[in-house]
Structure 1
Amino acid sequence: MTELGALRHLAAEIEALEQAGLLRKPNAPPPAGCLVLCSNDYLGYGTDPWPASSETTSGAGASRLVSGHHAEHALAEQTIAEWLGFEAALLFSSGYAANVGAIAALARPGDVIVSDALNHASIIDGCRLSGATVVVVPHRDADAAEAALERARGARRRWLVTESYFSMDGDSPDLVRLRAACDRWDAALFVDEAHAVGTLGPRGRGVSARVGVRPDVLVGALGKALGLQGAFVAGPMVLRTWLWNRARSFVFSTGISPTLAAAVRHRVIRVAADDEGRARLERVTERLRAGLASIVGDALLPSHGPILPCLVGAPEDALRVSARLRERGVLVQAIRPPTVPPGTSRLRVTAHARLTDAELTRILYAFMETVMETWNP
């Protein structure tokens, strides 16, 4: 046996991934002056100094249920709930932990979960862990979603789970129709607003608030537009109490740093008031969208908001285009399966509020040169 012992099979599997153009490796940090056009720091807060007092405790010390519950956690959760207009909120260590923990705690064997085909991996894993029957419906197909809820009349409980702003496609479901379908068939509406809170809707409250829909469960992220780390689940107090007791990714995790919780409160107050930042983001996005459309044509998929997906197709082609852009000082990572379906590898371009006019010109020029040299969209 080799020194890998029982893990020796992994070398062949890694080689197979590499041959398919799907092997992921750590990337070198972008060189100085490189424009990062693939992060989720939509408002640019992530580059700002840490907004918390140095007197705040750095570590929670234990899970929140043991001795890790601090005043900063409660204040942050109250601020989030008030911002979004919900009764309560609960902090999680990541968006993945929030979705997996909440869905697996809420749904059970005998339930039916109706899930959009392009939902995030954290939603998919939460559905699987719940033990419920999962019905996957075509992307943004409200008719199929309602039909699935109707067919599930014999279920113990029914759930409809969707993102509000899909991270790889930059599009949104018809939340008004989905809310009506849930009300008609006595189902709970679970909405992941990770890429929308802070960025879209009145006071940055997300797509649900923009269209006047109130989900039963709302998940939001703190590591995207708010520029920090972690996530939250918002809803009625009974939801918070249940998750406090039954969401395993919360119960069995050390509480997030109280210093981070204090920063969360600061950032929520800031983002709620930052209409100017959202307006600037919209202007940057529209210039970038118009410029990319003139360069790559139909390869720029229809979308709204700051996510601008450019379809390439094969994984190796997406990697090659990404490498050429990096050589020109623009960092846009290639997104490949299993993150996106086979045949839809892409460049996921994201707009950021702090891009200057000169930087936008530089970005579009880099795309134009790359198209002329190595990409035929």
Structure 2
Amino acid sequence: MGLIEKCSRYTRAREVQASGFYPYFIPIEASHDTEVVIGGKTKIMVGSNNYMGLTHHPYVLERAKEALYRYGTGCTGSRFLNGTLDLHVELEEKLAELMGTESALVFSTGYQTNLGVISTLVGRGDHLFLDKLNHASIVDGASLVYGTVHRYAHGDLRALERQLQAVPDTAHKLVVTDGVFSMEGDIADLPSIVALTEKYGAELMVDDAHSIGVLGPDGAGTAAHFGLSDKVLLTMGTFSKSFASIGGFVAGPEVILHYLRHHARSLIFSASMPPASVATVLAALEVMKREPERRDNLWRLTHRMQEGLKSLGFDIGHSETPIIPVVIGEMEDTFVMWKALFDAGVFTNPVMPPAVPESQCRLRISLMATHTDDHIDAVLEAFATVGRAIAVI
């Protein structure tokens, strides 16, 4: 069977496209932070990970423009060779300062960060422990390791303990967990995970893609939120959420990051972050420091949205963060509700298998610090009207 025949057997997406309920790859014609234009019509954007609302901040835009004209549009090479600018070095220093670590290392994307760190550090004879709802980049990084991979049910720390117990004391053990789980909006029980890693001589890496900027007194993520920054060996973060850009990083001990610089294939064999993207993150770090009220407003709006949805009768699971899953159930009902909300001017993200179980399909809301109370009211009104119309509530 050739590739054309093989691929032509996949028909599900074309069937949904033909039905008029296809929700993916929708071209956005213009973006105005909390609102976007699609098909000439304005939609309230509650599907973006732009938590701090910095994609249109005047200072961020100006810094990006300056870097564009100083360095050009791209580095045209990897960090290992000609793709390291003084901006990359400055950013790594600022990130290490934010995270309270010895060092930080910037990758081209968050996905490549997890891929490179995990596949490089877990070798033959080593053991890797993952929550089953960890991000796909962690799962894919684990698929490249030569060690043994253990997976435990989401949040089942008794299962994690049994797995740690069964591994020889002399083996290297690394636990990797999301800080905030991207489809559930819940926060990892880091105090309990830290206790287990200390008890069984394991080390801990936290994926803070959805935590940096959001959790912690200064936005330093999950470990800072729990006061456990000194207990986490490595923290991974992305720039495509709170930092309004693209890229990723890992922060931790200098000796480990030095090793990664010279061994992580996803770093060495990828072109580095473009100058304007790096400058955007540097500017976002500055704004986060001098405008802490953004984080306060994000949490105020989050609590309003959570309480509003629950009062309407929607199931939002165990969300504790600006990520709010609205569980609909079956795939067909979820597509219908997504389309009705979209037509009503609300942009959400439908989440389908394999990301979630077939009976747990959902619409994923994520809020920005720059949303207004009027936005929240309009979104809740749309959910109420559509939910009743199609008998979800």
TM-score clears 0.5: yes
CA contact (8 A) 1:40 1:224 kept: yes
Paired letter, 1:367: F
Question: Is the aligned partner of 1:292 residue 2:292?
Answer: no
3-state secondary structure, aligned to 2:341: helix
Displacement of 1:44 in angstroms is: 0.9
- Report the equivalent of 2:32: none
Offset from partner CA, 1:43-86 (integer Å, 9 cap, x none): 21123352332443132221111121111110010001101111
CA contact (8 A) 1:321 1:375 kept: no
CA contact (8 A) 1:146 1:178 kept: no
Offset from partner CA, 1:129-166 (integer Å, 9 cap, x none): 01221111111122221221121126631110100100
1:351 pairs, out of 353, 362, 367, with: 367
3-state secondary structure, aligned to 1:334: strand
Q: What is the distance in 2 between the residues matched to 1:356 and 1:16?
A: 35
3-state secondary structure, aligned to 2:143: helix
Offset from partner CA, 1:295-352 (integer Å, 9 cap, x none): 134x221211101111111112111100000111001121101222332110111122
Q: What is the distance in 1 between the residues matched to 2:143 and 2:217?
A: 34
TM-score (norm 2): 0.90
Structure 2 counterparts to residues 1-377 of structure 1, below 5 A: 6-15=3-12, 18=15, 25-29=24-28, 30-31=37-38, 32-49=41-58, 50=61, 51-52=63-64, 53=66, 54-58=68-72, 59-153=74-168, 156-214=171-229, 215-297=232-314, 299-377=315-393
> How large is the Cα RMSD of the aligned pairs?
2.1
Offset from partner CA, 1:18-50 (integer Å, 9 cap, x none): 479998742243533210111101121123352
Identity level (%) = 33
Q: What is the distance in 2 between the residues matched to 1:148 and 1:155?
A: 15
Q: What is the distance in 2 between the residues matched to 1:137 and 1:275?
A: 36
CA contact (8 A) 2:302 2:322 kept: yes
3-state secondary structure, aligned to 1:104: helix
CA contact (8 A) 1:104 1:126 kept: yes
Q: What is the distance in 1 between the residues matched to 2:70 and 2:296?
A: 33
Displacement of 1:98 in angstroms is: 0.6
3-state secondary structure, aligned to 1:225: coil
Q: What is the distance in 2 between the residues matched to 1:167 and 1:272?
A: 25
Paired letter, 2:316: L
TM-score (norm 1): 0.94
Offset from partner CA, 1:206-250 (integer Å, 9 cap, x none): 111110123111001111011111111000101211111111110
Q: What is the distance in 2 between the residues matched to 1:319 and 1:246?
A: 44
3-state secondary structure, aligned to 1:182: helix
Distance 1:353 1:375, change over 3 A: farther
Displacement of 1:169 in angstroms is: 0.3
Q: What is the distance in 1 between the residues matched to 2:291 and 2:211?
A: 14
Displacement of 1:17 in angstroms is: 7.7
Structure 1, gaps ≥5 residues long: none
CA contact (8 A) 1:110 1:155 kept: no
Structure 2, gaps ≥5 residues long: 29-36
Displacement of 1:109 in angstroms is: 2.2
CA contact (8 A) 1:116 1:137 kept: yes
Displacement of 1:359 in angstroms is: 1.7
3-state secondary structure, aligned to 2:70: coil
Higher mean C-alpha deviation, range 220-229 or range 351-360: 351-360
Higher mean C-alpha deviation, range 253-262 or range 5-14: 5-14
CA contact (8 A) 2:246 2:273 kept: no
Residues paired across the two proteins, number: 373
Paired letter, 1:306: P
CA contact (8 A) 2:79 2:271 kept: yes
